Structure 1
Amino acid sequence: MKKRIICTISIFVLVAALCSGCSGNPFKITDSFASYYAENKEEAGSDLEGMAAELAVVSDSEATDPNYQSNDYADLLINDSANEIVQSYHCFDKLYPASITKVMTALLTLEHGNMDDEITLKHDINLTEDGAVISTLTKGDTVTVSQVFHTMLIKSANDCAVILAEYVAGSEAKFIDMMNERAKELGATHTHFVNPNGLHNNDHYTTAYDLYLIFKEAVKHEEFVDTVSSKDYTMTYTTAKKTQINEYMQSTNYYLLNEFPVPEGVVMYGGKTGTTSMAKSCLILMTKNKKGERFFSVVLGAETKEALYSSMTRLLEKTTN
């Protein structure tokens, strides 16, 4: 069984502690934990992961959480304003991200695409995973990049991720190469993507910490934040027969739908959910507290939806202290 941990520690202090036993160049204070980790992974990566997994013991209330009994659970809470890790539980373990993968697809679309461009589907998007969420788009339909972008993030439509991949890179395979290259550039060195939507593949994995790095980059774009903070959306497109279709959808983020209450004092800026049978229930969020401090929180591998929001709520409650 994993040792249970929670921490409140400066990122700089954590890295300095790690570096005391590292070979190679002495530690230099950089602008982020990410840059240190990316630059020193080969020499100090294992020590870093060990440190992140041995920081402190969870409280009695959290120790009873069934998530902490799982071998496939991780969480992470970072005070981005103060540059502090507030809580970390196996944040460097390789786990399945499910549809949180779509954050990277969104990021590359924002960096390389134009939201006003129109896409006419040249083929149906065929997905093999049972129960995979899809839109109503089919071959011959014409839709804007913005409409597909919103549907991918709000409804978590897996076909829309493929549509955007083909739009940006010309093929899904080329887009996946872009995803992995961009992950490395961001310091997400324990990540490997094999598709743009997060449908299960044993070789498609990441870590809670890597997802934080990718998400933090994505929220630099106003279009992304506006989209992931929307509780609903209507996609409008035109069929090959020139019929206009309106597809209404609601967010998969139950905080936005008030299915689960946001803790008092927390301002919800939205995020991305992910669920597959192997990844279980996952969620990444950006929030702020009454002081205006910005936080990023990640939960991966929760056993149920209820367990996911229970664990995430406990993380969010720590942001108001």
Structure 2
Amino acid sequence: MKCIDKFSKKQKKKPSRYQKRHQQKMIKTLFLVVLLILVLLFGALAIFLVSGNRKLKEVLPYNRSQQIFGTMAGEDYPVGKGLADTLCVGEAETPLEGVEAKEGERAGLFAVQEKEIPFATGLYERISPGKVTQLMTVLTAYDKLNPEDSITIASEDMVYGNDFRSCGLSSDTQVTVNQLYNAVLVSSAQDACLALARSAGGSAEAFVELMNQKAQELGMTNTHFANVTGVSDENQYSTVYDLYLLMNRFLEYPDILNAMGLPEFILNYSKADGTENQQWLNCDNLYTAGRISVPKGITILGGKYFSSEAEHYTVLLAQNNYGDAYAILVYGAENETRDEQSCPSDAGKNKFLKFYLKFLIYHCIFERYAL
């Protein structure tokens, strides 16, 4: 006798010929879709790898607060032993077509992203850093002081005489650290330098030692500071290359860079009796102030500038419309008049970056504007 399970599942019907064909088409379609996706992925990867070897960049809007560094250097660019591969390195003398250095000049043009030095003369020879010393004062104090803290100006911070620049603060005046930074960066105020040094180091003399330690940290091995204001001193010296190392570090401090690029500044402070007051400070860098024009497509981020009968120097950070940063340093320059014949009116229309830079360093620095 055969037992039958009434609750057993019904036998499945065999798929029809139409259903088999449909399943086969679905499998083929799914295979083709997967294959197409794989082809597209490999194609996109190939395009990315090929384009990655080119130096094409998207146009970036200019922004002073942006940190402008990080582009890869060319693989074939030589890097000196003992130097970080993130820095520009090169020979003491590197000619640039169209630029003729005058006797006694020490200069360098540094392409920060490319890590190249398109132009250099006397790159490692000693120079007096001048007001650029104050930038080291700010950088050293920046790591020691809270920008929002208040400093009381002391009598030892005061400077007098026509040869000194002051922000006009009197003894017992209270001003924030940040306001003093701006006074130094915009107007090269020496009393502000002394107040920062005293507050951060206990005394100006002790602070100078901190500056020299900072210089060694930056790799400025041919630099020695003797004061915080930039006053000429035989024991205070540097080189164009060492000062490039200093300027390069400011690209990592957008707040300082913003202040360095201000064309003017209103200093806020409190008098000894507690009343609030303001002092207008003009920018002593004619490039930042816009009194010396630069080519279209180049923006001056900041720096220091000085011109007198005895001494002329310019230390600038500049940026193009693509966000590429450049350091331009010239010392020992002659104060020549501008030759209108050598400055073509259509020079600013040229779209090639190298021509812009050549124009910038040649016509705006080596062919000095008459002041």
Range of TM-score over shorter length: 0.7 to 0.9
Q: CA deviation at 1:179?
A: 0.5
Are 1:82 and 2:114 counterparts? yes
Q: CA deviation at 1:10?
A: 7.7
Which residue number in structure 2 is paired with residue 182 of structure 1? 214
Which residue number in structure 1 is paired with residue 102 of structure 2? 68
Q: Deviations over 1:79-111 (max 9, x none)?
A: 111111111111111111111111111111211
Change (3 A) 1:269 1:33: closer
* Of 112, 135, 153, the match for 1:121: 153
Change (3 A) 1:83 1:200: same
Q: CA deviation at 1:161?
A: 0.6
The SS at the match of 2:102 is helix
Percent same amino acid among aligned pairs? 25
Aligned pair count reads: 276
Change (3 A) 1:11 1:163: farther
Are 1:209 and 2:241 counterparts? yes
The SS at the match of 2:143 is helix
Which residue number in structure 2 is paired with residue 261 of structure 1? 293
In 1: Cα distance, 2:279 partner to 2:76 partner: 47
Change (3 A) 1:126 1:256: closer
In 2: Cα distance, 1:305 partner to 1:119 partner: 42
* Of 232, 235, 238, the match for 2:267: 235
Q: CA deviation at 1:289?
A: 1.8
TM-score, normalisation: structure 1 = 0.76
Structure 2 unaligned segments of length 5 or more: list them.
Answer: 1-72, 343-347, 349-353, 361-371
State how 1:38-53 maps to structure 2 within 5 Å.
Answer: 51-53=91-93
The SS at the match of 1:138 is coil
* Of 70, 77, 85, the match for 1:31: 85
Change (3 A) 1:272 1:143: same
Larger radius of gyration: 2
* Of 317, 331, 336, the match for 1:286: 317
* Of 334, 358, 370, the match for 1:318: 358
Say whether the 8 Å CA contact 2:286–2:305 is kept in structure 1: no
Q: CA deviation at 1:273?
A: 2.6
TM-score, normalisation: structure 2 = 0.67
Which residue number in structure 2 is paired with residue 226 of structure 1? 258
Which residue number in structure 2 is paired with residue 45 of structure 1? none
In 1: Cα distance, 2:176 partner to 2:336 partner: 32
State how 1:162-177 maps to structure 2 within 5 Å.
Answer: 162-177=194-209
The SS at the match of 1:219 is helix
Q: Decide which moves more: 142-151 or 283-292.
A: 283-292
Which residue number in structure 2 is paired with residue 24 of structure 1? none
Q: CA deviation at 1:76?
A: 0.8
Change (3 A) 1:265 1:169: same
Higher strand fraction (1 or 2): 1
Change (3 A) 1:28 1:74: closer
Q: Decide which moves more: 144-153 or 290-299.
A: 290-299
